[in-house]
Structure 1
Amino acid sequence: MFRRARAELAENGFTILPGVFDNATVQCLINTIDQASIDSSNARATAHLFAIRNLLQEVPSLARLLWTSPINHLLDAVTGEGTNCIRAVYFDKPAGSNWVVPWHQDLHISVDRQESVSQWINWNHRHGPWSVQPSADYLESIYTIRIHLDDCDASNGALKVIPASHKLGILPEATIRALDKSQATICTVPKGGVLIMQPLLVHASGKSVSQAHRRVIHLELTDRSLPNGLQWREFLSRSANSVQSQLTTS
């Protein structure tokens, strides 16, 4: 299974693995997130979206539920033993949400400060943390892990992707708009399943037309360090002991 997943990820830019988390673990994840405060500046709650940024700092107990043998074994095999978490976000697209995400690539990373780095552009800290668009080689080293806490299909806003578009590099918006969308794939993922994708894969999502939630834990992993002394703003090791140490000292 993992050999197939690695091959799909390399060729198509994404792979879907069902049944990674059982129903009991999924419910524990949901219960733990539901206990988080929505008063934090990292939480956003509207009629059409609920989101928590910097998730593993906002909900520290979540780390030990996530970094268990099943997911660590999967990630070691598919993304590599040296990959660690550099970003964590929780999204809920509630029933009937009109939240639509247009076709795009994920081009920004979150770091601790601004530095002069060749080919790194679009530095921004309007919303607090520094974000930047790094060079393509850094983006190519990142894996996005989407853990689905609900069954997800076209009716409740599943991700749509253009297979193999990650091979095209960083694309201007006009080029993305002009891409042939007729071969787009809807990423149907069952509850407890995991979608792994490359950030440069062109993707989008539609509005929800069902009464079902679409709750997703979005993680980004890499094995890369940053140049010029920069630090990943949300770095957390997948080692349980390291996670606990960093969370309690941060």
Structure 2
Amino acid sequence: MNALERDGFTLVSALLSPAECRVIAGKIETMRCASVGTRRLLSQDWCRSLAVKIRQHPALSPLIPAGLVAVQCTFFEKSASRNWLVAVHQDLSIPVAERIEHSALQGWSVKEGQLYVRAPVEVLQRLIAVRIHLDMCGADDGPLRLVLGSHLQGLVTAECAALARQQEIVCVAEAGSALLMRPLLLHSSSKSSGKSQRRVLHFLFAPLELPLGLRWSDTV
């Protein structure tokens, strides 16, 4: 069993060069995100090309099963002017093309004009997130805090998630590195010291076909 399956995450260094990170950061800067990020980057041509590069990269392709496609890319930023934290949680919502009325589908919402639903657990168990760090992320930069192996527990209640934080580890990362993780892995992050900039691209890879008549809103 590899680290991704055993622990729920693995870190791959030097996926992108410093120059590539600067180019991507420049493209995001031209978008002038009004908040701490955006969930709608996959519509950008450069982002779609990057999704293909990720899937084909020799260090990542053995970890991303054949047939998985990119279905979303989210941008996050932490800095002195955009500092925030997030409580321990699992990523349960996925972007879909239209609403399907079914008793197994709950938690419908709309964010940035995109429809989301809480996915069935059998779908969540097959998803892989790839987080690309455009900047160095040290212990003071609001890194992810991960609870090893928690993705193997299925859906976790809020009470159990809070208790599980006693076993979390801090995941620091170099600029250009990629953190692969299972969305069911319990994770959180604290505010940064406010003295740095932490920018991350969060790609979600998933099986092309969904159950219950659901369809992805976009795929690459």
Shared topology, TM-score over 0.5?
yes
Identity of aligned residues (%): 28
In structure 2, the CA distance between the partners of 1:125 and 1:53, relative to structure 1 (3 Å rule), is: closer
Which amino acid in 1 is paired with 2:34?
A: R
1:56 to 1:115, Cα distance in 2 relative to 1, 3 A: same
Matched, 1:192 2:187: no
Q: CA deviation at 1:196?
A: 0.4
Distance apart, 1:115 and its partner CA: 1.0
TM-score (norm 2): 0.91
Within the alignment, does 1:34 sit opposite 2:18 as a pair? no
Question: What is aligned with 1:207?
Answer: 191
C-alpha change, 1:169 and 1:228, in structure 2 (3 Å) is: closer
> What is the CA deviation profile of residues 53-88 of structure 1, one whole-angstrom value per residue up to 9, with x for unaligned ones?
21021x323333453378533332101122110111
Judging by fraction of residues, say which structure has more helix: 1
Distance 2:201 2:113 in 1: 22
Deviations 1:131-174 (A, max 9, x none): 11121110011101100000102201000000001011111212
Partner of 1:246: none
Contact 1:89 1:218 in 2 (8 A): yes
- How far apart, in 2, do the equivalents of 1:145 and 1:110 lie? 16
Say yes or no: does 1:220 pair with 2:210: no
Structure-1-length-normalised TM-score = 0.81
Could you say which structure has the higher strand fraction?
2
Residue identity in the other structure for 2:42 = L
Q: Does 2:98 correspond to 1:113?
A: yes
- In the other structure, the counterpart of 1:54 is 40
Higher RCO structure, 1 or 2 (CA under 8 Å, sep 6+) = 2
Query: Could you tell me how far 1:182 is from its partner in structure 2?
Result: 2.8
Indicate conservation of the 8 Å contact 1:146/1:195, yes or no: yes
- The question of 1:101 aligning with 2:86 is answered yes
Distance 1:71 1:104 in 2: 30
Gap change, CA 1:32 and 1:66, over 3 Å in 2: farther
Tell me the alpha carbon deviations over residues 77-126 of structure 1, each in whole angstroms, 9 at most, x when there is no partner: 10112211011111111137540100000011110111134522222337
- The structure number with the bigger radius of gyration is 1
Q: Say if 2:39 and 2:112, in contact at 8 Å, map to a contact too.
A: no
Residues 1:44 and 2:34 aligned together: yes
Gaps of 5+ in 2: none
Equivalent residue letter for 2:204: E
